[in-house]
Homo-oligomer: A and B are copies of this chain.
C-alpha cells in the first residue's frame, strides 16, 4: 500500500511545522504592527469566479470539484464543466477581492488585510515545488495614494528582517512606465497584454529571445531593441533619482505623477536602507520587471535574494480588480511572500521540548502521570517516554528530538532532573 501523500503534495513533520509556525507568528506580529489584520476565506471558490480571466495561466491549473448529488454514471455528451461547480483557490487575491466585495461594510477603510493559507495549482511536479503550497499576502484596499505602496514595502522588509532574511533587493517598476516604454517602442495599447507576456520571459530567454518573439508576433523590428535600450539606460543610472530623471526624458508620454509616486516609494525604501543593517536592503528601478498577472495598474515590485533562484516576494497596485466584484472602483495594492521559500531561508531556533520523563514499563501509571504533572506545574514542558534499548542511545535520540533534560522513574522512585548533554 502506498502511503505517500497525493502526487505533488507533502507531509510536514514536527520540526518543519515548528519552523513554519514560528515564521508565521513572526510575520503576523510584524505585519500586525503596521495595522494589517488576518482574515480567512474558504479554500474553495465558485469555479466561475476562479475562471474569470484574471488568474492568468493559473486558471489552467485549477483543481476542480464535482457537484454533489450527481448520478453515478455521467450521461452521454456531458461537458465536463457541467459536473463541476467549485475549485480550490490558486491564489489569495481572487478570494480577497470577493471577500472585500462581500464584507466591505464591516471593514475599516483603508482595509489592511493579511492572509496566510494554502493554495493549489496542478503544476507538473518538480523538485522543491508543490501542488499545495502556502502564500502569505498583505493588501491595502481603499488607499489610492503611494502611502499604500510605501507601507507594504516597509512592512514586508520588516517582516523579512524579523525572520532573519537580509541582503534583500527590491526591484521597482510601474505598469504605466512599462506602458509608456511600449508606446515609445511602437506597441499599441491593445497589444500591451501580449507584449508584457513576452517581456516577462526576459530572465528565462534573454533579450535575444524577447526580441525574436516580438518580431515573430509582428511588432516592428525596433520594438525589442528600443526596450532593451531603455531598460539598460535606467539600470545604468548612478542613483535612483538619476534613473527617474532619465525615465522622464526617455519616455515623454509618462505622466509626471507616476515619477513623483516612484520618488515617494524610493524615499521610503531609502529610509529603510538607512536604518537597516548595512547591505540588508537595496532597491532599484528596473524597467524590465513585469510580474505576470494582467491586473496590475501601477507600481510593481519583485524582492530578490542572492540565495534564492527566483523572487522571494512580489506584488503591486491593482486598482481595477476589486471593482470587478464590488461594482464600483476601489484602489488596492498588495505584496505576496513566497512563504515556503522564506521558511527555508528564515533563521529559527528549534523548540525546547523540556524534560523527558523516562519510565520503566512496570511502573504504576499514577506515579508516571503524577511526576509529569509535577514537572509541568511550574509552566514547563514534560513528555512521557518509555525506557527502551540502550540508555545512551535513547538519551542521544531524546536530545536530538529537542528535550533538554530528563528524569528516570524506576523501582517506584523518581531521579533528580539531569541535563541532556551533547
Contact = CB atoms under 8 A, between A and B. Distances in A.
Interface of A: 1, 3-6, 9-14, 16-18, 20-21, 25, 28, 32-35, 37-46, 63-66, 68, 70-81, 83-84, 86, 88, 98-99, 101-103, 106-108, 110, 112, 118, 120, 122, 132, 143, 145-147, 150-151, 154, 264, 267-268, 271, 325-327, 351, 353-354, 361, 365-366, 368-370, 372-373, 376, 380-386, 397, 401
How many copies the complex holds: the figure is: 2
Given A77-B73, A354-B33, A45 B365 contact: no
Nearest to A260: B365
A13 to B, nearest CB: 6
Contacts of A13: 39, 103, 106-107
A369 B151 contact: yes
Contact of A46 (B6, B99, B145, B373): B6
19 contacts: A1-B325, A3-B98, A3-B326, A9-B42, A12-B39, A13-B107, A16-B40, A17-B40, A18-B38, A25-B25, A33-B381, A34-B372, A64-B65, A65-B65, A68-B122, A74-B77, A110-B386, A264-B365, A271-B370
Given A147-B368, A154-B369, A365-B147, A376 B42 contact: no
Given A147-B365, A264-B366, A381-B33, A1 B327 contact: yes
Given A17-B39, A268-B365, A112 B1 contact: no
Contacts of A10: 42
Contacts of A4: 102
A104 to B, nearest CB: 9
A78 B70 CA distance: 13
Nearest to A379: B33
Interface of A, helix, strand, loop or mixed by DSSP: mixed
Contact of A38 (B21, B325, B373): B21
Nearest to A366: B267
Nearest to A33: B381
Contact of A42 (B3, B6, B14, B73): B6
Given A382-B35, A401-B108, A5 B41 contact: yes
B77 A6 contact: no
Contacts of A268: 365-366, 369
Given A40-B17, A383-B35, A150 B365 contact: yes
A320 to B, nearest CB: 15
A6 B271 contact: no
Nearest to A68: B122
A189 B99 CA distance: 52
A156 to B, nearest CB: 14
Given A11-B41, A76-B77, A151-B384, 17 more contacts: A1-B101, A5-B102, A6-B46, A11-B40, A11-B42, A13-B106, A14-B107, A17-B37, A25-B25, A33-B382, A43-B118, A66-B84, A68-B122, A83-B83, A147-B365, A147-B368, A268-B366
Given A34-B383, A354-B33, A365-B268, A6 B80 contact: no
Contacts of A21: 28, 38
A73 B80 contact: yes
A44 B6 contact: yes
A34 B70 CA distance: 46
